[in-house]
Amino acid sequence: MDRQKNRLMVLFASLSFVLSVFFHILNRIFNAMPVMHGHYPTETSLFNSEVLYQMSLNLMLLLPLLPLIAAIVLHVKQPEHSYIPALNTVTLTLSSVSLIAGGGGMVELHFSIFMVVAVIAYYERINSLY
């Protein structure tokens, strides 16, 4: 049973990361969701708020990838490993935060965290860190 739950949750975590990447592409490349509050300066110095903003978005985009890769590697080696639920939980949470950041902080995207809670509830118990 744990093997099937872990496989499904690794799939959901991967899809969540892909969805986050999709929103980053929509907002940053195609400007499909323009930022409504404020404007960005045109200077390109390192301490410019635009450069720091882009660097933080890149960090937010890549952060969920680390626990996702770890979960996939553990799932391939040992599908019932006790750390997989915790890694999937962290991946889903960080992907939700990344989705919100990549989408420009739109209020509608904040509801993704409730979907994360609902998906994580599928595990019923995450006790791998004890």
Question: Which pLDDT belongs to residue 34?
Answer: 66
- The span from the CA of 95 to the CA of 41, in Å, is 28
Closest CA to 116 of 102, 128, 101, 99: 99
**pLDDT score at 1:** 63
Helix (H) or strand (E) holding 64: none
Name the DSSP letter for residue 81: -
End-to-end CA distance of the chain: 21
Percent of the chain at pLDDT exceeding 70: 84
**Higher per-residue confidence, 14 vs 124:** 14
Answer whether residue 47 shows pLDDT above 90.
no
Q: Is 80 exceeded by the pLDDT of residue 40?
A: no
Cβ partners under 8 Å of residue 117, min gap 6: none
Q: Could you tell me if 64 and 17 are in contact, meaning their C-beta atoms sit under 8 angstroms apart?
A: yes
pTM of model > 0.75: yes
Quick check: 9 and 84 in contact, CB under 8 A?
A: yes
Q: How many CA atoms lie within 13 A of 23 on its CB side?
A: 24
pLDDT at 43 over 90: no
